[in-house]
Structure 1
Amino acid sequence: MVKNAHGHTVDLLGEAIVAGRYREGGIIPPEPILGEELGVSRTVVREAIKALAAKGLVVTGPKVGSRVLPQDVWNWFDPDVITWQARVGLTPEFLRDLQDLRRVVEPAAVRLAAERATAEDIDEIESAYDGMKSAIENGGDYVTHDLRFHHGLLRAARNRMLTQMSKALNALLRTSFEISTTRSNGPALSLPMHRAVLDAVIAHDGAKAERSVLKLIDGARADIEAVLGSRRRLPRLSRPPPRLKAVAGTAADIHPGSRSR
């Protein structure tokens, strides 16, 4: 979606702050200078600064201008903040915080999903799983279907706060999933783990669903730690998501223990 001048200005300034071009505790240039640099009016700059303040990146005050706040007070549940971080480059601290968050939130949510999922919920998660499987076997967009799978689980928990959280977690989860796709056979190796979670939800077995999703999350953590340990440059969030190449044979051929519909 093409953003208007306001949205574009928020993106430019937000990304500059997250990238460190405006340092913590430093003062952002005044509105007239920013407006000239970015080719927008002072009003657009002023509204953009207000948006950044609402996201916790800056604080403004009379006669002191706009000052960049420390990272630990930024709103890390804001999708824009996550997207800016992913664009400028992921950090080990960011990725480890993400994995800790997943380990706290998802197991409890999946247990609730196993207890409360409707037939429509299960159909949606099954459809997402089929999309993941097809992307592995035939090539295509795996990440989008992986996101659908996890969002479906959170929605199936039938908890309004978790449903809202799923929107905020979108960019967070995508960073993890894109890293997993950089690992050799990463998606194919995780597919049976997704199937185990889904089967437990279908069986309405909350304890098994919780154990299965923990195994899945810990597998993602291992992928991330392997990437961090390799000392390769961490990937940036791509847009659109990367597409897998088709593999010889089916996912079930590669992983005989997995079960498809």
Structure 2
Amino acid sequence: MSKNIHGRTLDLLGEAIVSRRYAIGAPMPAEPLLCEEFGVSRTVVREAVKSLVAKGLIITGPKVGTRVLPEERWNWFDPDVITWQARAGLTPEFLRDLLDLRRVVEPAAVRLAAERATSADIEKIEEAYAGMKLAIEEGGDYVTNDLRFHHGLLAAAQNRMLAQMSKALDALLRTSFELSTAKQNGPALSLPLHRAVLDAVIAHNPARAERAIVKLIDGAREDIEEVLSKRRRPPRHGRAPPRAKATAA
């Protein structure tokens, strides 16, 4: 479903900020200029500005005007902010922070999953794994199934806060997966690593599950670094998930 006029204006302003069209600390154009530029009413611009304030991108007030805040003030768990950054270009700093976050959160969550996973939890993770395998063998949407796999692991930890974090991490993880799977044969090479994680969870072996997920995350970091080393410009994402090509029998 296409976004309404408010959503489109918010996207345009958000991407302009994240891509540094409006410099950090500098005043943004006055409201009438924004209305003219985007062809929308003052009401639409004001609503978009309110949303950007809520996401931590800008500050507005009678004495300061409307100014762009430093990156550390931005809400990096907001899916819109992640999407705008992905479209503007994935900087090395952004990817480093993302992989560091995965290295901190996922091993602990997978340990809990190995202790607490129910048969229903394992069934959902198995289904996601089967979707990944099918995408590799016959072609298809590998990334979405990869995302389901990791969501299933976080849900299997049986922790409400981790479950909420899973929603916040969605855009971050998708960005990571889209980039790491861009490596030739990347999905096929990482599939056994996913199987090792799943088998450890099925065996209810927390230590083995943690080692397996750390190996998987570190492998993703290496794949991303390899992909980036071959590109002159920061990669851009946020489009439809890439479809895996069927592997030869």
Interval containing the TM-score (normalised by the shorter chain): over 0.9
| 2:138 equivalent to 1:138 | yes
The alignment-based identity, stated in percent, is 76
1:19 alignment partner in structure 2: 19
1:2 alignment partner in structure 2: 2
Verify the 8 A CA contact 1:227 1:234 in the aligned structure 2. no
Verify the 8 A CA contact 1:78 1:168 in the aligned structure 2. yes
2:129 alignment partner in structure 1: 129
| 2:197 equivalent to 1:190 | no
Please provide the CA RMSD for this pair.
Answer: 1.1
1:239 Cα deviation from its structure 2 partner: 2.0
| 2:57 equivalent to 1:64 | no
Q: Which AA in structure 2 matches 1:177?
A: F
Verify the 8 A CA contact 2:27 2:65 in the aligned structure 1. yes
Q: Aligned residues, how many?
A: 249
1:231 Cα deviation from its structure 2 partner: 4.2
Q: Secondary structure at the match of 1:27?
A: coil
Structure 1 window deviating more from structure 2 (126-135 vs 233-242): it is 233-242
Structure 1 window deviating more from structure 2 (75-84 vs 237-246): it is 237-246
CA distances 1:196-238 after superposition (whole Å, capped 9, x unpaired) = 0000111111111111000000000111121233344332114
Q: Which AA in structure 2 matches 1:58?
A: I
**Unpaired runs of at least 5, structure 2:** none
User: TM-score with structure 2 length normalisation?
Assistant: 0.97
Q: List aligned pairs for 1:38-53, cutoff 5 A.
A: 38-53=38-53
Q: Which AA in structure 2 matches 1:78?
A: D
1:63 Cα deviation from its structure 2 partner: 4.6
Q: Secondary structure at the match of 1:34?
A: helix
1:179 alignment partner in structure 2: 179
Q: List aligned pairs for 1:154-169, cutoff 5 A.
A: 154-169=154-169
| 2:106 equivalent to 1:114 | no
User: TM-score with structure 1 length normalisation?
Assistant: 0.93
Structure 1 window deviating more from structure 2 (92-101 vs 223-232): it is 223-232
Q: Distance in 1 between matches of 2:30 and 2:234?
A: 34
1:43 Cα deviation from its structure 2 partner: 1.1
CA distances 1:79-120 after superposition (whole Å, capped 9, x unpaired) = 100000001111111111111000000000011111111111
Q: Distance in 2 between matches of 1:98 and 1:63?
A: 35
Verify the 8 A CA contact 2:6 2:44 in the aligned structure 1. yes
Q: Secondary structure at the match of 1:182?
A: coil
CA distances 1:167-193 after superposition (whole Å, capped 9, x unpaired) = 111111111111122111110110000
1:245 Cα deviation from its structure 2 partner: 1.1
Q: Distance in 2 between matches of 1:20 and 1:239?
A: 21
1:207 alignment partner in structure 2: 207
Q: Distance in 2 between matches of 1:162 and 1:2?
A: 31
Q: Which AA in structure 1 matches 2:50?
A: K
1:163 Cα deviation from its structure 2 partner: 0.8
Q: Secondary structure at the match of 2:181?
A: helix
